[in-house]
Chain A
Amino acid sequence: MRIQRIELFETETKTKKEKNIDLSLLDKVIEKYKNKKGSTIPLLQATQQIFGYIPREAFHYISKHTGIKLSELYGVATFYAQFRLNPVGKHIVKVCHGTACHVQGANVISESILEALQIKDGETTPDGFYTVESVACLGCCSLAPVIMIDEEVYGKLTGKTAVNIIKEIQLKENN
């Protein structure tokens, strides 16, 4: 339910302090979409593009400069799965849980990765390197089960190979 998403965001944003955010980066975006009808979603998408998520202050800033009600912005942001209200790790691991992947054992992939990184679904590793989340369908069903790390898709995985890929990327960047 979409309501669960709101609850999740509220508990998480309360506990975390946001870093200094340069809100003036938003000016260009606001200029582009201001007074255009139906632009709430592109506006929020552009904001997320800049910060990687939508910071609390950004809501206030956008609302103030566009006249779109704060409740409307927040309502839209919590309705759509794409929007994040919390900072994410350097790399995002999306584990596909579409039907084909489910039938081919997507749960095992999720569990193996989460076990290896010692986090829960949707969380970020303490070092801020990985965020792992389950997604609906990446549309690469014939390569099931698949994961997507940033923009790259890895298919025909087993729990072991998935964990190996994750560890390899970590090793490569740490050295």
Chain B
Amino acid sequence: MKHTKVLVGLASCGIAAGANKVYDKIEALKNNEKLPFELTKTGCIGMCYREPLVEVIDPTGSYLYGEVDEVKITEIIEKHIKGGEPVKEYIIKTDLFENVDDSYWKNQTKIALRNCGVINPEDIEEYETYGGYQAIKKLLQQNTSPEQVIQTIIDSGLRGRGGGGFPTGMKWKFAYQSKSDQKYVICNADEGDPGAFMDRSLLEGDPHSVLEGMTIAAYAIGATEGVIYCRAEYPLAIKRLNIAIEQARKKGYLGKNIFDKEGWNFDIYVKEGAGAFVCGEETALMASVEGKRGMPRKRPPFPAVSGLWKKPTNINNVETYANVPYIILNGAESYNKYGTEKSKGTKVFALTGKIKRGGLVEVPMGISINDVIFKLGGGIQNDKKFKAVQLGGPSGGCIPEYLANIPIDYESITATGAIMGSGGMVVMDETTCMVDIARFFLDFTQKESCGKCTFCRIGTKRLLEILTRICEGDGQEGDIETLEMLSQQIKDNSLCGLGQTAPNPVLTTIKYFRHEYEAHIRDKKCPAKSCKKLITYTIIKEKCTGCTVCAKNCPVNAISGERKQVHFIDQNVCIKCGVCFTKCKFEAINLS
């Protein structure tokens, strides 16, 4: 039983799946029976579809257990930890024998996520054991000049991972060249894209790598203060960041004369956002840090010249900073050996939607979308037909199945009309209506528009009205053309990224799924059978056995009928959720 370590994945999704209860159970068993193994918390292990996850590392190897609950963990502790016999049926990953989920790991390359799910994020010592703060120490020992640091980042080919894709080294160079008594480094952790959780997982799993990345940026550009602007919706990320900052200060890695370098002062504090998607835009973000309404402003001047409090400022996102210590420590080649000609390194994606194995993945640039969905993700849930993948959230677009063999790099994805974005990858199957998806994103951007530019403020509203009309079966001839015209005008006449990209979901769905729009408008039909106004659920009398399963599962009690009698759906009450359709074993529910 010696040298046995038990790790529990305690990021937000793990906790939501019940990982805290599992942790408490292990702790109780450990204390009750005085078992001498080491128990630690760790961040996101990445296999969200198997949460809660528990990893047992003993002298024979490492064993990852999935879908652990309080009953299973008792058995695991009894048999594996006390008895030395791993419980094979619960193991989902080990080096010792093959598992069905192995392809999920084999195609990944972890750089930004190198420590996520490995170290205890609340312990600076563990981060240091895994090479943490070695990059910045190396710079100081070798007396590397800021220019050399910037050159290494340029050589690595690292581009902004928040979605913009601007070369990070160049951004640093501009901020370095600006002369000022004070400069700022900002970390954009305002991850507002619905369907994306890369930054949250990184901050929860490895906050120190972001702090170190920011410190290196501060060293390169000559900044004295750092701000992490984090969504208030991420309480655990904020908590762990604050713990990390406190630990770094105690060690002398943040504050005054840091790393024993006389006269080098740099400190970081966390600023909580207050819920506005537009604050992911850098000028709006800075306005928000200053305590104002988060409205974007015109550029130039760019933040590198005049940013926070009108001082030169460098803004990067969480994933970008997390890559920096790795690049500095291992050299530019260690990073740019991955990827394509123009897109180097790796990219983290949050793989979600109708996918079998959803989770947090990091893949080398240049891998095809198909490989991510089918090799890593294991294909579509319930083996339905793959229809499209949405990249880039409300600013991105839908890439259809027949284009999914393209490589993942900035240029190829932009060519489809979508964008790389920050890494949300939502997979859709044949039951997802593409008009409804466009309507969904417009509903989002319309609410989040700050209202400064007329075309964004009113144009998105009009787009939404037309899309809603089409989804409800009231579309008119000419609607598609109006949508296209209006979209172009919004793109051309908006100041910031929100407005300029807001029509992308509409334009890409029209481009690739025009027939779905036409079916809604002309035939008043939703081909995906998803738009509620255009579908009805009825019971086929001949097939209904009166088993009452549908009535029991109906959330609004719209189904009536005696046991062993034919049931009936009240159309006035039915919310068309489709539960009866999926639950009926006799195929007695008709969807039309």
In the complex the two chains form, is B457's CB within 8 Å of A1's CB? yes
Contact A115 B353 (CB under 8 A): no
Is A112 an interface residue when CB atoms closer than 8 A count as contact? yes
Minimum Cβ distance to chain A for residue B433 (Å): 10
* Chain A residues with a Cβ closer than 8 Å to the other chain, count: 55
Q: How far is the CA of A61 from the CA of B40 in the complex (A)?
A: 47
Complex interface bits, B197-227 against A, C-beta within 8 A gives 1, otherwise 0: 1001000000000000000000000000000
A117 at the interface (CB under 8 A from B): no
Task: Say whether A79 contacts B293, CB under 8 Å.
Answer: yes
Interface pair A153/B275, CB less than 8 Å apart: no
Instruction: Identify the interface centre among B197, B271, B424: most chain A CB within 10 Å of its CB.
Output: B197
Query: Once the chains bind, are A103 and B353 in contact (CB under 8 Å)?
Result: yes
Asked if A158 and B579 sit within 8 Å, CB to CB, the answer is yes
Pair A103/B457 contact, Cβ less than 8 Å: no
Residues 312-358 of B at the A interface (beta carbon under 8 Å): 350, 352-354, 358
- State in angstroms the CA–CA spacing of A4 and B443 once bound together: 13
- B interface footprint on A97-133 (CB within 8 Å = 1, 0 otherwise): 1111111110110011001100000000000000000
Known: A38-B290, A80-B276. A137 touches B16 (CB 8 A): no
Q: Which residues of A contact B235 (CB under 8 A)?
A: 151
Q: Which residues of A contact B446 (CB under 8 A)?
A: 1
Within 8 A of A (CB), among B437-487: 437, 440-441, 444, 446-447, 449-451, 457, 461
Name the segment of A14-22, A23-31, A85-93, A138-146 touching the other chain. Answer: A138-146
**A116 to B555, alpha carbons, bound, how many Å?**
8
Q: A98 contacts which of B16, B194, B289, B554 (Cβ < 8 Å)?
A: B194
A81: interface (CB < 8 Å)? yes
Chain A residues near B291 (CB-CB < 8 A):
37-42, 76
A98-B194, A108-B577, A112-B575 given as contacts; is B432 within 8 A of A103 (CB)? yes
Which residue of A40, A45, A102, A140 is within 8 Å of B197 (Cβ)? A140
Q: How far is the CB of B329 from chain A (nearest CB, A)?
A: 29
Q: A45-B274, A153-B12, A155-B17 known; A100 and B579 CB under 8 Å? A: no
- Docked Cα-Cα span, A83 to B291, in Å, equals 14
Measured in the bound complex, the distance between the Cα atoms of B451 and A84 in whole Å is 20
> How far, in angstroms, from A98 to B13 measured CA to CA in the complex?
15
Bound form: Cα–Cα A91–B338 in Å: 48
The complex places the Cα of A104 from the Cα of B427 at a distance, in Å, of 11
Report the interface size for chain B: residues with CB under 8 A from the other chain.
Answer: 67
Nearest A residue (CB) for B552: A160
Residues on B with C-beta less than 8 A from A51 are: none
CB atoms of A99 and B200 under 8 A apart: no
Which B residues, 253 to 296, have Cβ-Cβ distances below 8 Å to chain A?
A: 271-277, 288-294
Q: How far is the CB of A66 from chain B (nearest CB, A)?
A: 11
A105 and B553 CA atoms in complex are apart in Å by 15
> Inside 8 A of B457's CB, which chain A residues have their CB?
1
The CA-CA distance from A101 to B235 in the complex, in Å, is: 20
Give the residues in chain A near B449, CB-CB below 8 Å.
1-2
Question: Which residues of chain B come closer than 8 Å to A158, judged between CB atoms?
Answer: 553, 555, 577, 579
Contact B426 A81, beta carbon cutoff 8 Å: no
Q: Is B192 an interface residue when CB atoms closer than 8 A count as contact?
A: yes
Pick the residue among B274, B358, B440, B556 that contacts A112 (CB under 8 A).
B556
What residues on A are CB-neighbors of B276 within 8 Å? 79-81
Query: Beyond A80-B276, A99-B390, is A142–B51 a contact (Cβ under 8 Å)?
Result: yes
Least distance between B556 CB and chain A CB atoms (Å):
5
Q: Are B556 and A83 in contact (CB under 8 A)?
A: no
Query: How far does the alpha carbon of A119 sit from the alpha carbon of B195 in the complex, in Å?
Result: 27
Given contacts A38-B289, A103-B353, A141-B197, contact A82 B274 (CB under 8 A): yes
Docked Cα-Cα span, A140 to B51, in Å, equals: 11
> Can you list 17 A-B pairs, Cβ within 8 angstroms, ordered by A?
A1-B449, A2-B450, A41-B288, A45-B274, A81-B274, A97-B194, A99-B424, A103-B428, A104-B353, A108-B578, A141-B358, A143-B48, A143-B51, A146-B16, A153-B15, A153-B16, A159-B556
* Interface residues, chain A, with chain B CB atoms under 8 Å away: 1-4, 37-42, 44-45, 72, 75-76, 79-83, 97-105, 107-108, 111-112, 115-116, 135-144, 146, 151, 153-155, 158-160, 162-163
Beyond A112-B575, A159-B555, 7 additional pairs, beta carbon < 8 A? A76-B291, A80-B273, A99-B352, A108-B577, A112-B556, A140-B16, A141-B196
Tell me the B residues contacting A by CB distance below 8 Å: 12-13, 15-17, 48-49, 51, 191-197, 200, 232-235, 271-277, 288-294, 309, 350, 352-354, 358-359, 390, 393, 424, 426, 428, 432, 437, 440-441, 444, 446-447, 449-451, 457, 461, 532, 553-556, 575, 577-579
Please name the 6 residue pairs, one residue from A and one from B, whose CB atoms are nearest each other, closest first: A159-B555, A99-B195, A142-B48, A81-B275, A98-B194, A80-B274
